[in-house]
Amino acid sequence: MKMIRCPMPRTILVVDDDPHIRQLLVFALDKAGLAAIEADDGESALAIAAAQSPDLVILDINMPRMDGLEACRRLRAARGEGRNVPILFLSSRDDEIDRVLGIELGADDYVVKPFSPREVVARVMAILRRTAAHAPEVETGRDLIHGRLRLDLDGWRASWNAADVPLTVTEFQLVRLLASVPTKVFSRDAIIDGLHGPGFAVTDRTIDSHIRNLRAKFAALGGVDLIETRAGIGYRLGACAGA
């Protein structure tokens, strides 16, 4: 008899100092077929992430010992796979400063408390779909090249003039969207739909923060013309010729 191997469930690290919230999210994730592990503060989250390499981290901003913003900063600064793990922030208040700062530190998405566990799971699934090894529209073995920009579509890697550029999932997806039609100017609404799908509540400031992050990362390698701004319209891919 031929044995059929079942795929391992994706692992989600849930980080929150409130055990009730952790319990709600773990239950909801389990119902969605995802494996959940828990941490109650930022320090524990870093240790668990290093040891178990989760596929995504749900990270509360306000926690004792080490808050979510600092934990995110350290995850992104770490070497190895942990620096690229997708991060979904939980915020206890609808504070745009916290949300924008979280995005600028490298978060992929955020949810404001109080929230529906179904909404959190929906956002987790949306991020995981974007990290799938073979997205439906990607042709296996193809790189997307524009000037000095190269995107490895299967490996989810970006490089500038042969130097690797560490991007979050959302940042990679955003560059890929712009590069898919380099002559097109994408409105912020079109970018939001392309990243999250219709109906996701994401502000223009969030998109602007992702753009600012991308520009800073590529500019450090000479990629000062990665993205062009068209005032009153949106963004398009730049010439990518370098400084």
Per-residue pLDDT of the chain (243 residues; tens, 9 = 90+): 443 444 457 899 999 999 999 999 999 999 998 999 999 999 999 999 988 889 999 999 888 888 888 898 888 887 555 567 889 998 876 666 666 677 777 788 888 888 899 989 998 988 887 765 334 333 345 788 899 999 988 788 899 998 999 888 888 989 999 998 888 899 988 888 777 665 555 666 778 888 998 999 999 999 999 999 998 889 999 999 886
pLDDT of residue 2: 42
Map residue 199 onto helix, strand or coil: coil
Indicate the pairing of strand 11-15 with strand 56-60.
parallel
Q: pTM for the whole thing?
A: 0.61
Map residue 162 onto helix, strand or coil: coil
Contacts of 12 (CB under 8 A, 6+ apart): 29, 34, 35, 36, 37, 54, 55, 56, 57, 58, 124
pLDDT of residue 79: 54
pLDDT of residue 132: 58
Closest CA to 110 of 137, 148, 72: 72
| CB 90, CB 63: distance < 8 Å | no
Tens of pLDDT, residues 120-175: 999 898 888 776 533 433 334 578 889 999 998 878 889 999 899 988 888 898 99
Instruction: Count CB atoms within 10 A of the CB of residue 22.
Output: 19
The amino acid at 222: G
pLDDT of residue 40: 92
E strand spans, the chain: 11-15, 35-39, 56-60, 87-91, 109-112, 143-146, 149-152, 157-160, 163-165, 227-230, 234-237
pLDDT of residue 17: 93
pLDDT of residue 220: 92
pLDDT of residue 15: 95
Contacts of 31 (CB under 8 A, 6+ apart): 121
Please provide residue 242's backbone torsions phi and psi, each rounded to the nearest 5 degrees. Answer: 90, 175
Closest CA to 174 of 143, 203, 212, 128: 212
Beta bridge partners, 39, equal 15
pLDDT of residue 13: 95
